[in-house]
Amino acid sequence: MLSYAKDIRPLFRSNDVEAMKLHGLDLSSFEDVSAWADSILSRLEDGSMPCDGRWGKESLDKFRQWQQDGKRP
């Protein structure tokens, strides 16, 4: 089963974390990512996040699976 700490947090690069903090979202925080998972997934799927290009299918599938499995820390 996927966990935020082991599987999801490493998907967010340092510059992604810093950029989103300016918008009030801390991608390094399990609580923030868990609370905003629907919105984050939507933006990842439409390619508007991260700002410099889409995630690959494997990363998207991993995030989606983590969410569907109950967003374990």
- The span from the CA of 66 to the CA of 7, in Å, is 8
Task: Say if 73 falls within a structural domain.
Answer: no
Task: Say if 53 falls within a structural domain.
Answer: yes
Q: Which domain holds residue 60?
A: 4-68
> What is the tally of structural domains in the chain?
1
Q: How confident is the model at residue 42 (pLDDT cuts 50, 70, 90)?
A: very high
- Please name the residue that has the structure tokens 């508007």: 48
Mean per-residue pLDDT over the chain, rounded:
95
Task: Say if 57 falls within a structural domain.
Answer: yes
Let me know: does 37 contact 9? Beta carbons within 8 Å. Answer: no
Mean pLDDT, rounded, for 40-51: 92
Q: How confident is the model at residue 51 (pLDDT cuts 50, 70, 90)?
A: confident
